[in-house]
Amino acid sequence: MPVTDPRPHTGEPVSLDLLNTRWMREGERQDLLTDTEGLAVWLAANGLDGRFAADEATLRHTRAAREALKALVDRPGDPGAIAGVDAVLEHGRIRVLLSADGPGERAEFADPAWGPAWTAARDYLDLLRTAPDRIRTCAHEACILHFFDTSRNGTRRWHSMATCGNRAKASRHYARTKDQ
């Protein structure tokens, strides 16, 4: 029986979804990538399960990519963080091709175990090209989730208004009424 994804927030671009394999629940840090079963859940959530194996090598490389991306999100422009993402990107390349459908591209890897890690790192580059200012960490102080702000005006603050946004508003309301 397939394991359901236990994470509170999914559906972000693959790079941010990789970062969201760690989250907080009742003050305790959770981690989906503690074993190959969790990796299989993440691969399936991102449509990568048919292309890559959920084995120990893939898990190790995917966790390395997560650390590199986290460092870059926390310290944009930091040479060490940039080098970490570049090190992941060294394990794959894009091959341009022409098919019956027209021009295209295909990712290639010397070692397929690097495929998910490289895919997430490449996706992050795409986000940086598109709108780097919309790559966000949830503004709630107890949340560690990330999101790509697709709101019209680009002012989204929480990964979810229903959870973190509502908690922040409730905290502010409580603080105001407590002092009265």
Instruction: Give pLDDT, residue 173.
Output: 43
Instruction: Give pLDDT, residue 177.
Output: 63
**β-sheet bridge partners, residue 22:** 31
Its sign, for the CA torsion 59, 69, 136, 48, is negative
Instruction: Give pLDDT, residue 178.
Output: 64
Q: Look up the pTM and report it.
A: 0.88
The Cα–Cα gap between 168 and 15 comes to 26
Average pLDDT, 10 consecutive residues per value, the chain (180 residues): 85 98 96 98 97 98 98 96 98 96 95 98 97 93 93 82 62 56
> How many DSSP H helices and E strands does the chain contain?
6, 6
Element (H or E) spanning 81, and its range?
helix 79-89
The Cα–Cα gap between 172 and 159 comes to 18
The Cα–Cα gap between 67 and 124 comes to 13
Instruction: Give pLDDT, residue 2.
Output: 59
